[in-house]
Copies of this chain bind each other. A is one copy, B any other.
Amino acid sequence: MQSPIMAQQREDSTSSEMRHDWLADRWVIMAPQRSARPNDYVIGPTRELDNANCPFCVGHEDCTPAAVATYKHACHHGSSQANHQASCLDLWSVRVVPNKFPAVNSNRKSLVESASFPVPVETAESHASAIDLFQRRDLTGGHEVIIESPQHLHSISQLNRESARLVFTAYRDRLRHWLDARGLAYGVVFKNVGLDAGASLVHTHSQLIATDILPADIARATERMELFENKESACLFCRMAEDELDHMVRIVEQTPNFIAFCPFASRFPSMVTILPTNHQPRFQTLSESELEQLSWLTHRMVRRIEHCYPDAAYNFIIHTAPNRLHRPDSFHWRIELFPRITKVAGFEWGSDCYINPLAPETAAAALRAAGV
């Protein structure tokens, strides 16, 4: 809460306004004056355990399930680590393994066979009810970990350009596997860095979850994209990219094929959206050159965030078109990236209405100014 970026907006910030997030159809409260609140808490340093037993480090491959894919480049220079020579001998630069503690089941298994819940299957039959308040279903799909370096690095920003490209290549390939080859309903790549972002391991990694069901929120978002297209004969995010480039107040960077900007109705401070400026429904169709451009743009955006908020936890999420959509071409893929510098509190959990103490325009200016 006590960041220099937020402090700089306090002087002229005296009131709130609401901004509409058209995609989520949700109003966000922008309340810059909230950043001047006093604070009783001094956060103790989060210590990291000795990494001698890190299951993601090179040499510990037997601590994880066997790899489903590995990526290697000619000579791996690490990230200015001392053991440069040693790393050139590594067998992999990026390694994809099934999650040892998956959130989804890889085999279809009926609830009757599963012994994980010590309760009988409940029904509402006593009411002869049409609605079952105790509905359950099995969940099948995939849950994978993309280990981004053989070395014990802690952020994607420590990778070199070639390694970053390989990580994004792995994202593309694994989304192709689960969405295109296996045909699952939904697939998402996400990254949790730091305790506050939900990470449990320090070693730089991302995850992919693919499910046989489309989450309700994603279904709603795709419906909103279709609605926009119906009404405007244009894609929502193509329009947004165009408008942001017109206004130039929230753009952080532009490359030949992408823009990175702080969205107008950001629900978190310093949230960044990365979009292809040309319409692309699926991340998986990225060309090699786009992939290289995107991976390095994302790398730079993480560095900008880390410059503004040293040691901040962060998440990113790759939204690509799910399967089984009525009109899959209405979807525009994108990356959402955000540092975790405020806590979500009771009001937000109760109303799904977010209070953001940092104007996206101020956030974008600070991210632009950050040297990378």
Q: Which residues of A contact B (CB under 8 A)?
A: 1, 12-20, 22, 24-27, 29-34, 36-49, 51, 54-55, 100-105, 109, 111, 114-119, 122, 124, 126-127, 129-131, 133-139, 186, 188, 190-192, 195-203, 207, 209, 211, 213, 215-218, 228, 231-232, 234, 236, 239-240, 243, 246-247, 249, 264, 315-317, 319, 336, 338, 342-353, 355, 359, 361-362
Are A134 and B243 interface neighbours, CB within 8 A?
A: yes
Q: Please measure, in the bound complex, the distance between the C-alpha atom of A117 and the C-alpha atom of B352, giving whole angstroms.
A: 23
Indicate if the CB atoms of A218 and B351 lie closer than 8 Å.
Answer: yes
* Complex-state Cα separation, A347 to B103, whole angstroms: 10
Complex copy number for this chain: 2
Tell me whether B118 and A27 are in contact (CB under 8 A).
Answer: no
A17 to B140, CA, bound (A): 9
Q: Which residues of B contact A30 (CB under 8 A)?
A: 117
Q: Could you write out 11 A-B pairs with CB less than 8 Å apart? A: A14-B116, A19-B134, A24-B216, A26-B215, A29-B139, A32-B116, A33-B101, A42-B46, A118-B361, A198-B344, A317-B347
In the complex, chain B residues whose CB is within 8 Å of the CB of A46 = 41-44
Bound: A117/B249 CA distance, A: 12
CB distance from A18 to the nearest CB of B (A): 5
A343 engages B135 (CB within 8 Å): no
